[in-house]
């Protein structure tokens, strides 16, 4: 038996064993592809975001509001991640006049950089300023799976409860923006905003946050303004 | 979580390194996984036995080294175990950085090289 790394010795007569040091991150190939995707986006002057949330948090509704706010000034495109070949979300985006392509993950719980690459292939990126990727509805799996987008956004929604940062900590780490959606429901549900924000602060100190309602449009302009600033930075770069 | 995709990544890494080393067989795979990853060892093992059939990794053993999650308080520099999300137990500051528990890599493999006495 060999115990040390990178050590080889002869054994018996016709074969040998060795213990080979690897030290390679399990997500390494994904991260390489993600960097490739980001280069492609950068070369096209596109600012891209990856929106993650649990099912029903309001990802598509927020995207539609962003389209309403920004599509008169900027060209937007959307990649829709879905676990089934159901084009309900993509159809809504296209009906709003924005090109969208759907990635059907075939039951997989999150998008990865390889799927994202195919999504980019399927879209005409010419002139696009803002690419919005709607990840599969899931608070666990998309965390830590880089796509090559420039910012990760989580949409938390009030009815999901205020304990989510404590129960699903990974998704809130390494994100750039959080939206608290459905704030119009705050009077009707027991949601302790202080408890929620304290959890967020532990995971991601100083995280940019926007309380919004995709239903009433409250607060959407704040997030749209944040996106606009990033789009203009990208143009200037 | 998504153990099948993760297991596939592990297989790809092992195959690539085994080929580079002219291995005929991979017998053992050593993984280092921090407790902050939501990977279930048993589940990875289950997929591993399934997807390694007819590959250089068939019948190989997976070894998991689990690393406990630890944080360091940014206020008082106290290091504490992070079993759940909580403020520093010493000074109650909510500002800390995670120092271990995020590891997620293939550390090494044990291989056989048949038919040659190649010593490096």
Residue of A nearest to B36 (CA): A170
| A90 located within any domain | yes
Cβ-Cβ contacts under 8 Å for A172 (sequence gap 6 or more)? A154, A165, A178, A199, A200, A203, A204, A207
B32 pairs with which residues across the strands? Answer: B65, B105
Range of the domain at A161: 22-236
How far apart are the CA of B30 and the nearest CA of chain A, in angstroms? Answer: 9
pLDDT digits (tens, 9 = 90+) for A194-235: 999 999 999 999 999 999 999 999 999 999 999 999 999 999
| A10 located within any domain | no
Contact residues on chain B for A22, CB-CB shorter than 8 A: 13-14, 17, 105-109
What local confidence, expressed as pLDDT, does residue A15 receive?
62
| A1 located within any domain | no
Residue of A nearest to B110 (CA): A19
Residue B120 above 70 pLDDT? no
What local confidence, expressed as pLDDT, does residue A83 receive?
86
Q: What is the mean pLDDT of residues B105-116?
A: 88
The pLDDT mean for chain A works out to 92
Cα A199 from Cα A180, distance rounded (Å)? 14
ipTM at complex level: 0.88
Nearest Cβ partner of A141 from B1, B24, B115?
B1
| A138 located within any domain | yes
pTM equals 0.90
Cα A233 from Cα A208, distance rounded (Å)? 17
Report how many domains make up chain A.
1
| A220 located within any domain | yes
Residue A102 above 80 pLDDT? yes
Contact residues on chain A for B10, CB-CB shorter than 8 A: 26
Confidence of residue A132 (pLDDT cuts 50, 70, 90): very high
Residue A3 above 50 pLDDT? no
Q: Give the neighbor-by-neighbor strand order of the sheet with A47-52.
A: A100-104, A76-82, A130-134, A47-52, A151-157, A177-181, A208-211
Residue of B nearest to A25 (CA): B105
Instruction: Inform me whether the C-beta atom of residue A3 falls under 8 Å from chain B C-beta atoms.
Output: no
Tokens standing for residue B107: 């550390």
Cα A232 from Cα B36, distance rounded (Å)? 36
What's the distance, Cα to Cα, between the start and end of chain A in Å?
A: 56
- Domains recognised in chain B with CATH numbers: 3-68+101-112 (3.30.2320.50)
Task: Give Cα separations from A31 to A36, A37, A48, A70, B22 (angstroms).
Answer: 9, 10, 16, 30, 26
Residue of A nearest to B119 (CA): A8
Cβ separation A27–B85 shorter than 8 A: no
Question: Which CATH number do you get for residue A121?
Answer: 3.40.50.300
What local confidence, expressed as pLDDT, does residue A90 receive?
92
Segments of chain A assigned E as strands: 7-11, 15-25, 47-52, 76-82, 100-104, 130-134, 151-157, 177-181, 208-211
| A5 located within any domain | no
Cβ separation B118–A199 shorter than 8 A: no
Contact residues on chain A for B114, CB-CB shorter than 8 A: 14-15
Nearest Cβ partner of A108 from B2, B104, B109?
B2
Confidence of residue A12 (pLDDT cuts 50, 70, 90): very low
What local confidence, expressed as pLDDT, does residue A16 receive?
82
What local confidence, expressed as pLDDT, does residue A116 receive?
97
A205 pairs with which residues across the strands? Answer: none
How far apart are the CA of B100 and the nearest CA of chain A, in angstroms? Answer: 14
State the best of A3, A23, A26 to mutate against chain B, taking most chain B CBs within 10 Å.
Answer: A26
Cβ separation B104–A24 shorter than 8 A: no
> Could you tell me if A100 and A88 are in contact, meaning their C-beta atoms sit under 8 angstroms apart?
no
pLDDT digits (tens, 9 = 90+) for B23-69: 999 999 999 999 998 788 999 999 999 999 999 999 999 999 999 99
Nearest Cβ partner of B117 from A16, A108, A166?
A16
What local confidence, expressed as pLDDT, does residue A224 receive?
98
Residue A133 above 60 pLDDT? yes
| A108 located within any domain | yes
Nearest Cβ partner of A22 from B1, B95, B106?
B106
| pLDDT cut 90: percent of chain A above it | 84
| A56 located within any domain | yes
Q: Label the pairing between strands B104-114 and A15-25.
A: antiparallel
> Could you tell me if B38 and B1 are in contact, meaning their C-beta atoms sit under 8 angstroms apart?
yes
């Amino acid at each position: 038996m060999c115990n040390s790394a990178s050590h080889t010795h002869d054994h018996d007569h016709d074969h040998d064993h060795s213990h080979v040091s690897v030290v390679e991150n399990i997500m390494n190939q994904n991260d390489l592809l993600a960097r490739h995707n980001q280069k492609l986006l950068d070369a096209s002057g596109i600012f891209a975001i990856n929106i993650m949330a649990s099912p029903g948090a309001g990802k598509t509704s927020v995207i539609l509001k962003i389209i309403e706010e920004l599509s008169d000034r900027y060209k937007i495109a959307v990649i829709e991640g879905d676990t089934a070949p159901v084009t309900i979300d993509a159809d809504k985006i296209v009906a709003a006049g924005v090109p969208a392509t759907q990635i059907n993950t075939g039951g997989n719980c999150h998008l990865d950089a390889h799927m994202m690459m195919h999504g980019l292939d399927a879209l005409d990126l010419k002139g696009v300023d803002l690419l919005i990727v709607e990840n599969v509805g899931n608070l666990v799996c998309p965390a830590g799976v880089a796509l090559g987008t420039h910012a990760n956004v989580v949409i938390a929604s009030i009815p999901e409860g205020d304990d989510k940062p404590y129960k699903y900590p990974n998704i809130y780490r390494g994100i750039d923006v959080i939206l608290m959606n459905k704030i119009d429901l705050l009077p009707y549900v027991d949601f302790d905003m202080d408890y929620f924000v304290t959890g967020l602060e532990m995971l991601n100190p100083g995280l940019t946050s926007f309380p919004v309602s995709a239903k009433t449009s409250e607060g959407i302009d704040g997030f749209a303004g944040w996106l606009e600033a990033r789009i203009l930075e990208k143009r200037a770069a | 979580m998504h153990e099948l995709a993760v297991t596939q990544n592990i297989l790809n890494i092992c195959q690539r390194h085994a080929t580079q080393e002219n291995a005929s067989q991979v017998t053992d795979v050593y993984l280092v996984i921090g407790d902050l990853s939501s990977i279930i060892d048993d589940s990875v093992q289950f997929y591993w036995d399934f997807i390694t059939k007819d590959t250089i990794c068939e019948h190989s053993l997976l070894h998991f080294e689990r690393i406990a999650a630890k944080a360091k308080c940014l206020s008082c520099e106290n290091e504490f175990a992070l079993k759940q999300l909580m403020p520093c137990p010493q000074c109650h500051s909510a500002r800390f950085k995670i120092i271990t528990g995020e590891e997620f890599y293939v550390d090494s493999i044990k291989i056989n090289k048949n038919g040659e006495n190649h010593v490096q």
